[in-house]
Amino acid sequence: MDPIVIVGGDAAGMSAASKFKRERPERDVVVFEKGEYVSYAACGMPYYVKGDVESLDDLLTVSPEEFVEERGVDLRLHHEVVDVDPEAREVTVEGPDGRFTQPYDQVLIATGAHAVVPPFEGMDLEGVFTMHSLPEAEAVRDYLTAEAPEAVAVVGGGYVGIEMAEAFAAHEVEVHLFEMLPHVLAPFGETVAEAVEDHLREQGIHLHLDTAVERFVGDTRVTGVDVGDEVSDVDLALVGVGVAPNTELAEAAGVELGETGAIATDAYGRTSRAKVFAAGDCAEARHVVTGDPDHVPLALTANRAGRAIGQTMAGEETPVGDIAGTAVVKAFDLTAARTGVIDEDRAREAGFDPVSVTITAASRAHYYPGAEELTITLLGDRDSERVLGAAMVGREGVAKRIDTVAVALHEGATAHDLSYYDLAYAPPYSPVWDSVLTAAKVLDGKLG
């Protein structure tokens, strides 16, 4: 029988390969990866640039040698799949020794996503970077070390922008953050965004909100950022305005894309073409609140879907699971988190009648030293009284609490249900009535 073929060797691809080999050790799995790294922690790259992570090797979850020698995966680095033919059930590969075809029994497209490169003049200047791979992270850190810039521009106020602002600040350089929207972290809501912005300013970050970058200035090396009426002098620029799914290979194979622009899949990761699966940052998943396809490129989503597809390919159909878009971001001493639907307009578009509440509570018992303020926005549906989503910001305890709401979303819990969750209590960790329970009580009262 022809082998299982996997295109892409990061989270989704290697999770699928590993799971399939555990279930069917007698079968062959071939993974084609065009780069030199597999199974690496891309989310750790800002902390490598900052210096919290010493070596790029520390970001490798499983080495290529382990996949080959211990897991029995036929892993081929520096091999790029340039065509998938669902009719012939074969892929065309370009490798160090030339072009060849590889037949397959089933194929998983796990081509990931790429950093969006805006059409700015000067993107090709020395000192202008994007960061969506380990070599790019290494290049940024090397440039910091070799060139010792005095001022850095970060373009984009999302996850990468916030984390990289902190990373650059650790090198004692002046940091300018440019965001074309009125607030950073737009998907987290205005309350969270404003708290983060205030904290960034306290840390010395120069915020340029509602400000669109027009071009980078310089002859061969970047020397400034032009926003139309002002030029800020910088010696390095990091562009982090989002990612887009890598769908070209799938499109050429006749695989249908969804409304989000990512690859459309069913509950098991199957695409519109027989024996062709897709997972990870290139693929859609179903949102647990709206029930609609969504594209939220996060690490757990990719790992979980890959593992499920590996099991399905091995003969036991396993759903890839719904997503809630649960995310958490460190911004210096603050933590911001979100899950589900927190934008009221989006909730209305999905057919809900949204009601929201915002509370501020203590992270610990009031008498226990070190208590910090924690702000929570909770959104619910007036008709069903179901919890739709939450956003939180504070100095401690945020990551734990957002997960509580994520569980409620997956259960379809009402605000009343959530207010009765039996959560852990001890003075160093929370008040008797945890802030999530308090927010749920307030929302329940407003819905009733």
Q: Can you tell me the mean pLDDT for 145-166?
A: 96
Q: What is the pTM assigned to this prediction?
A: 0.94
Which pLDDT score, from 0 to 100, does residue 448 have? 82
117-241 belongs to which homologous superfamily?
FAD/NAD(P)-binding domain (3.50.50.60)
3-state secondary structure of 439: helix
Radius of gyration of the chain (CA): 23
Predicted pLDDT of residue 62: 83
Confidence of residue 70 (pLDDT cuts 50, 70, 90): confident
Model confidence at 69: pLDDT above 90:
no
CATH number assigned to the domain covering 333-447: 3.50.50.60
Give bridge partners of residue 176 from the DSSP assignment. 153, 206
Same CATH topology for 4-39+53-114+244-313 and 117-241? yes
E strand or H helix at 405:
helix 398-411
**Nearest to 262, CA basis, from 231, 283, 289, 238:** 283
State residue 426's pLDDT score: 97
Instruction: Tell me the three-class secondary structure of 182-246, residue by residue.
Output: CCCCHHHCHHHHHHHHHHHHHCCCEEEECCCCCEEEECCEEEEEECCCCEEECCEEEECCCEEEC
Task: Tell me what the pLDDT averaged over the chain comes to.
Answer: 96
Q: What is the mean pLDDT of residues 107-127?
A: 95
Do the beta carbons of residue 436 and residue 418 sit within 8 Å? Answer: yes
Q: C-alpha angle with apex 185: 423 to 116, nearest 5 degrees?
A: 125
Instruction: Identify the active-site residue in 43, 82, 117, 274.
Output: 43
Task: Delimit the domains of the chain by residue range.
Answer: 4-39+53-114+244-313, 117-241, 333-447
Q: In this structure, are residues 387 and 406 in contact, taking their beta carbons and an 8 Å threshold?
A: no
Residue labelled with tokens 């929370």: 430
**Percent of the chain having pLDDT more than 70?**
100
- Which helix or strand (DSSP H or E) is residue 347 part of? helix 344-349
- Whether 43 sits among the annotated catalytic residues: the reply is yes
Give the residues across from 335 on adjacent strands: 330, 394
Q: What is the CATH number of domain 4-39+53-114+244-313?
A: 3.50.50.60
The count of other CB atoms within 10 Å of the CB of residue 122 is: 19
Nearest to 262 by CA among 276, 244, 274: 244
Please name every residue paired with 27 in a beta bridge, in sequence order, or none if there are none.
none
Average pLDDT over residues 356-364: 97
48 closest CA partner among 60, 36, 37, 39: 60
